[in-house]
Chain A
Amino acid sequence: MIKLNNLKNILKVSSILLILLQLSCVQDKKRENIIVASAGKIDSLDPAQANTLRTLQILSALGDTLYKIDKDGNLSPILAKDLPKVSKDGLLIDIPLRENISFHDGTSFNAKAMRFSLNRFMSIGTLNYLLNEKIEDIQVKDEFLLRIKLKKPSSSIKSLLTSVNLTPVSPNSYSNYTDKFNNKSFIGTGPYFLESFSPNQQTIKPFIKYWGKKPLNNGIDFINYSNSSSLFGAIKTKEIDVLISNSIDDMQRLTLNNMVNNDKLNSGEGNPIEIGYITFKSNTLPLINKAIREALSYTIDRELIARQVSFGTRKPLRSIVPPHLRNKKFSPWSKYNPNLARTLLKKEGFCNTNILTIPLTFRSNVPADKLLALTWRDQIKKDLSDCLIITLNGVESTTVYKQLSEGAFEAVILDWTGAYPDPEAYLTPLLSCTKIDNNNCLEGEAVFSGSFWGDSKVQELLEKSEELEGEKRLETLTKAEQLAANASSYLPVWLVKPKAWSLKDISQPEFSSNGLIILKNLKRD
């Protein structure tokens, strides 16, 4: 009897505790701020150091860029008053700046502030080589007129000026940070100011004196969870208002998309900016043989892979430039055709008794890579088991990046997101090569990308495109891409669209051309 009473007491106490906890977690009052969640913490808010999507996302709300790429793919001024004026020799770019704009610390934005920010980035920025290779000097011609002197003509510099990394910072607040990073604060000109910062949570509030369109919400809390399941659970339980798609597993993306279809969530997606591809090391046997690379490019069924691996959330891709960055449709890589692959391999002396083995490396910490590798291997096993075998090798991504330029991988699955929305931001990092010996790249970006494939004609076209504008420039870049497709040293697989899901009482997320959510447009009903 005594034992039974004890049990009853324990149950009573537990129930009271549970009720108390439940009461404390009831969140029936409307949140003031909109809670946006993604994976990965933020260690630094310095635009000179920002290199993750999450950091760029928050910086895009705290700062403004000189220009943006609009929906039609044209350059459109933001902090600049007008489009840049380029001198006849292409070496001087004049940028008129907007007046009456103030930083969050109350100081004025002008050409000196812009020069300070660009020089600071060129001095300490982790991606400063992007500018240092192009810019000779930055001059203040007038209080609101900036002049950029180039080392050589560069049409891509204008797209580069849309980069969030180049958002201006207040010279007054950053005077002690000219040669070091300012990790925990940010003083820019954007629609929001930073209210609080910790690596796991950042709060931004509308900047009352903002010169442009005011935010439609009362502020944003950025939070991070370390894994996809937690992020998925958090939006399902309404702990968060908006979920950004980076690091969400494909299976959970599918479930979220189903919730959108069932009218339980809103969703928005931006232009695809991330490509998934396979690099073939093209300077050693067996893949130095172009016919074998070509054969491999016929073996991949992108539709099947997109369906099996990503449940259709990633789109098949047969170019290395995302299609929306061109004015016309262009898919230079060949379609799935195992018969043609067999013919080519037979011609090279493979099949029947002589089976070609290709080791394929995937990043073991990227689930989609592993699934892609497994699917492709099994597809080849089904189609061409008498000619070709793919062996798999999982390596952690940091090691892959380190060993890529050392030529450690015959074939490796990678992805790439251009630093700015321009074909050049995809072609140059994969194809550019400054020292070429018989299609073997000895120095240049193609070494860092692990293909070691270089072509003087491609290099010539890439350099020529820097001197051209508009359609002619795009045509030149298209020719370069066609040559790359003919060489088959890369195998584009899929295209990933940035996506975000929001609760029903939050407006549909909208994206800018660089794949970031326009936070000031988020609104709670």
Chain B
Amino acid sequence: MLWIISTLVFILLRIAPGDPVDAILGTRANEFARASLRIKLGLDKPLINQYLEYLNHLIHGNLGVSLNTQEPVKVIISKALPASIELAIFAILIASLVGYLIGFLGAVKPEGRIDFLGRIFGIGTYALPPFWAAMLIQIIFAVLLGWLPIGGRLPPGMSPPPSITGFLIIDSILNKNLEMIFSSFKHLMLPSFTLGILLSGIFSRSLRLNLEEILKKDYIEAAKSRGLNDSRILIKHALPNTLLPILTITGLTVSSLIGGALLIEITFSWPGIALGLQEAINQRDYPVVQGIVVIISSIVVMISVGIDIAIAYIDPRVSY
């Protein structure tokens, strides 16, 4: 799977119009300057040679160096990925809390007021264009109310703590810097809240639908007929059985968010992997684009395998 993805990225980047030499030199450079840079970057070699070299490096864990900055791609990714993971984790926490709570309450009393509002909320958040919602939230909470910062990971002028894990909140805690903990948390709030709320609609809808379906099952009726009380039926019998689809949806959402939430990262100037990927694509920085896509794909594959293992562990009907 990873081989197919890395090959596809390699081919697509070369097919796409645009040239890294143009991106670096501008369009006015003379042919000599272009040719020199092309040789320096190894872009003068036949495509098949470039491809084989790329695969060889990839197998040995070498993602290459950025054409633009000459910085190792590994270093670029290791700086940007923690920011995206941090954002993804908080967003998923908010989405799970809000989404599953609304979905659960809706399923418990179908067609009730909470269910009705929950459905509107679910459809609404799903239908909202992320960039629009992000800008609206930014304008309200940052510009008009001034409660939270506009964007970035830290206030202007504040230097980040020495990097231990790359996760700003964890590094701030490890450095015992209270001001930094507050600041980094505060900067994380708007983007994670926006992303979390936008995702919570899918979570609430999926939980509600699954729970509603399970509550109609025979074994639930059997439990009721045995005289078990409603909350026990719900928590002990119904909820665990909704875990499988929920786990799958949550897992896949996490893996997609690890790849970055581009529009959120752009709106809130969040220096994550998606923003890095977008910039690398604009600059036609082939190694950076290839490296980011391969790493993201690997994470998605790992999470998918993890979910499958978890499902097999939870559900006795599944065996491999």
Contact = CB atoms under 8 A, between A and B. Distances in A.
Interface stretch (B106-114, B154-162, B233-241, B304-312): B154-162
B69 A233 contact: no
A398 B156 contact: no
B267 A33 contact: no
Nearest to B268: A230
Contacts of A266: none
A429 B26 CA distance: 12
Contact of A183 (B71, B142, B183): B71
Contacts of B148: 21, 25
A225 B147 CA distance: 19
Contacts of B27: 401-402, 404-405, 448-449
A230 B156 contact: no
Contact of B182 (A24, A37, A128): A24
A140 interface: no
B150 A183 contact: no
Contacts of B185: 21
B33 A227 contact: no
In this complex, the member of B28, B135, B138 whose beta carbon has the largest number of chain A beta carbons within 10 angstroms is: B28
A231 B284 CA distance: 26
Interface stretch (B16-24, B117-125, B210-218): B16-24
Contacts of A402: 17-19, 22, 27
Given A240-B156, A398-B18, A402-B18, A226 B70 contact: no
A350 B291 CA distance: 54
Nearest to A24: B182
B249 interface: no
A22 interface: yes
Interface in B175-227: 179, 182-183, 185-186, 189
Contact of B186 (A21, A180, A429): A21
A233 B69 CA distance: 30
Contact of A22 (B37, B70, B147): B147
A429 B283 CA distance: 22
A258 interface: no
B266 interface: yes
B287 interface: no
A401 B150 CA distance: 33
B103 interface: no
B242 to A, nearest CB: 24
A230 B283 CA distance: 22
A269 interface: no
Contacts of B25: 126-127
Contacts of B11: none
A330 interface: no
B157 A31 contact: yes
Interface string A218-241: 000101111101100110110110
Contacts of A181: 69-70
Interface string A314-334: 000000000000000000000
A371 B182 CA distance: 42
B260 interface: no
B269 interface: yes
A128 B179 CA distance: 46
Interface string A161-201: 00000000000000000001101000000000000101111
Interface in B277-313: 279, 282-284
Contacts of A198: 160
B188 to A, nearest CB: 11
B158 to A, nearest CB: 9
- Which bucket holds chain A's interface residue count? 35 or more
Contacts of B139: 229, 233
Interface string A12-36: 0000001011101101000101010
Contact of A200 (B18, B152, B183, B283): B152
In this complex, the member of A133, A224, A398, A429 whose beta carbon has the largest number of chain B beta carbons within 10 angstroms is: A398
Nearest to B185: A21
A304 to B, nearest CB: 29
A399 B186 contact: no
B30 interface: yes
A490 to B, nearest CB: 15
B33 A129 contact: yes
Nearest to A403: B17
B69 A43 contact: yes
In this complex, the member of B71, B156, B189, B267 whose beta carbon has the largest number of chain A beta carbons within 10 angstroms is: B156
Contacts of B183: 24
A267 interface: no
Interface in A432-486: 445, 448-449
Contacts of A398: 17-18, 22-23, 282-284
Nearest to A235: B150
A31 B159 CA distance: 14
A183 B70 contact: yes
Interface string B143-172: 100111111101111011000000000000
B179 A233 contact: no
B68 interface: yes
Contacts of A488: none
A44 interface: yes
In this complex, the member of B37, B68, B151, B182 whose beta carbon has the largest number of chain A beta carbons within 10 angstroms is: B151
A223 B160 CA distance: 13
A76 interface: no
Given A43-B68, A129-B29, A226-B266, A233 B147 contact: no
Contact of B150 (A27, A127, A233, A429): A233
A418 to B, nearest CB: 11
B186 to A, nearest CB: 6
Contacts of B29: 126-127, 129
B32 interface: yes
B53 to A, nearest CB: 20
Contacts of B24: 126
The 5 closest A-B pairs by CB, nearest first: A24-B182, A398-B18, A225-B269, A399-B17, A221-B157
10 contacts: A24-B183, A31-B157, A41-B271, A128-B33, A201-B154, A223-B157, A230-B138, A234-B151, A399-B18, A405-B27
Interface of A: 18, 20-22, 24-25, 27, 31, 33, 35, 37, 41, 43-44, 51, 126-129, 132-133, 180-181, 183, 196, 198-201, 203, 221, 223-227, 229-230, 233-234, 236-237, 239-240, 396, 398-399, 401-405, 429, 445, 448-449
Given A24-B179, A183-B70, 8 more contacts: A20-B182, A25-B186, A37-B156, A43-B66, A233-B139, A239-B155, A398-B22, A398-B283
